[in-house]
Amino acid sequence: MSDISRRTLLSGSALLLASTAMPAIGWTQTPKKGGRLVLAADSEPRNLNPAIVASNGVFFISSKIVETLAEASFDGKDGLEPRLALSWEGAADGLSVTFKLREGVKWHDGKPFTSADVAFSALQIWKPLQNLGRTVFKDLASVDTPDDFTAVFKFAKPTPFQLIRNALPALSSVVPKHVYEVGKIEENPANNAPIGTGPFKFGEYKAGQYYKLTRNADYWGKDEPYLDEIIYQVLPDRTSAAAALEAEEIQLAAFSAVPLADLDRISKVPGLKVISKGYEGLTYQLVVEINHRRKELADVKVRQAIAHAIDKDFVVKTVFLGYAATATGPVPKNDPQFYTADVPTYPFDVAKANALLDEAGYGKADDGKRFALKLLPAPYFNETKQFGDYLRQALAAIGIDAEIVNNDAPAHIKAVYTDHAFDLAVGPPVFRGDPAISTTILVQSGIPDGVPFSNQGGYKNDALDALIAKASETLDTAARTDLYKEFQKEVAADLPLINVAEWSFISVARDTVGNIANNPRWAVSNWADTYLES
């Protein structure tokens, strides 16, 4: 009992920490013009073209240069806010979507932005080359451009408008046709020095040192942008971002560049604020991936036993220090469209887990062990590794002897998704606003070997496959949403994988940085309204 109350207390203090940071965000003051924002970057993406590489690492820098058709929004209709597109409308038959585009927008090289650029980006880049677009836009047949500011996407097969809409913030980066139409798109120099319509122009990149973006004086947003320059200082060591903030060498560290363990200390440094808002659209899911080729794990009772053995509250409080939420299924709780709490749950119950394993016929041997397995925690985050250690102990409590196998990132990817050399793995898939973008693939069958962040555990459930197929061609938004609620139920019941927690990133910034975290994808949005108080 006392244990529980201590936990509640802890979560309370984390909430308090988050809420003390809020007032500074919500209250808009008159933004100041000018100034150089210096922030930490922990990696250096080589290809900065977000139309080809739709990933947070690339967006972090290039979303300020290259804009999408629409951006995510806390209060906009359908969670969207216009950018290069002013409106979007789907046809009832699901065969076309019409975009009305913003007029008077100029590329950074002075040429006008038109519907031809959108058509080119969609057909020549998103569909054939983009990591996510290849799936979402696979049935895109053509893009009609009746005039310079109208683009009509035509699909060969009915495609849910809801999916296209949800994909806009991450998948619809528009690049200039006149720059990319000559030569191979993958080798275009603009991939390393992007040209866009955004509030900032690409300035210079010094490998291993910094990226510099400069103000676009011709930006379409009134009075925007406020900042003169944005400098991303490359700080590869995870401890140095906190030191640089304290030494006032940088003013912002996004994407949890300051490790969770340092947040408590850094939140007490005068002039610094810890912000857990602004990443709602970039939710990561802590998932136990299961290799169903193992006969023990193919038994749903064993999977349920493992789910019962995991104390999700403990994981949130200990591994994530409160900066996370417990998960119930494959859609995160903070998703406004699809989430349902009405799914089978697995409360922490070691006795029940043991009973389920006994029932399944895997009794304890004389040494107290039932069977042994290999556990591969993904190395990309501290938290996935720490959860791996926790899971090993949790499994030991129910007589499952897990051996942890540590790999670096490429080795882990190969072991799990190509070689299937795992029994259990800990992975951090991303929920991207619609289950069809990168979530259903985690449990769907028939995916070729080697596809990362997909069902490589040999799981096959015909009912679930049918449900996914049906949802992918259901055009009515309400009916489609209901199908994905059913999908969550089925996944939670049959446990092709076990969703443990959901988390996102933390920003630490100086008090002088204004308009932080004002949209659900803030760190990867265009920062036109970000400003610095002097």
Can residue 458 be called a binding residue for another protein (CB under 8 A)?
no
Q: In the structure encoding, which two tokens stand for residue 481, read together? A: 């949403």
Contact 125, 180 (CB under 8 A): yes
Length of the chain: 534
Interatomic CA distance for residues 183 and 305, integer angstroms: 56
Can residue 136 be called a binding residue for another protein (CB under 8 A)?
no
Can residue 428 be called a binding residue for another protein (CB under 8 A)?
no
User: Which part of the chain contacts another protein (CB under 8 A), choosing from 63-71, 124-132, 139-147, 464-472?
Assistant: 124-132
Can residue 193 be called a binding residue for another protein (CB under 8 A)?
no
Tell me how far, at minimum, the Cβ of 241 lies from another protein, in Å.
10
**Would you say 286 or 316 has its CB closer to another protein?**
286
Tell me how far, at minimum, the Cβ of 427 lies from another protein, in Å.
11
Interatomic CA distance for residues 34 and 36, integer angstroms: 7
Can residue 347 be called a binding residue for another protein (CB under 8 A)?
no
**Would you say 398 or 413 has its CB closer to another protein?**
413
DSSP string of 122-174? IIIIIHHH-TTHHHHTTTEEEEEEEETTEEEEEESS---HHHHHHHHHHH-B-
Torsion of CA 387, 288, 322, 250, to 10 degrees: 80
Element (H, E) at 186: none
Interaction with another protein in 360-389: which residues (CB under 8 A)?
380
Neighbours of 342 (CB within 10 A): 12
User: Which part of the chain contacts another protein (CB under 8 A), choosing from 67-75, 353-361, 409-417, 519-527?
Assistant: 409-417
Can residue 243 be called a binding residue for another protein (CB under 8 A)?
yes
**Would you say 135 or 518 has its CB closer to another protein?**
135
Can residue 411 be called a binding residue for another protein (CB under 8 A)?
yes
Interatomic CA distance for residues 494 and 59, integer angstroms: 35
Rg (CA), the chain: 24
Q: Is the N-terminal amide bond of 336 cis, ω within 30° of 0?
A: no
Q: Which of 49, 166, 283, 438 binds another protein (CB under 8 A)?
A: 438
Q: In the structure encoding, which two tokens stand for residue 169, read together? A: 């913030």
Can residue 123 be called a binding residue for another protein (CB under 8 A)?
no
Can residue 203 be called a binding residue for another protein (CB under 8 A)?
yes
Strands 229-234 and 80-82: unpaired
**Would you say 74 or 381 has its CB closer to another protein?**
381
**Binding stretches for another protein (CB under 8 A):** 38, 43, 45-47, 53-57, 129, 131-132, 134-135, 186-187, 192, 203-204, 206-210, 212, 229, 231, 233-237, 239-240, 243-244, 246-249, 380, 407-415, 418-419, 438, 447-448, 450-453
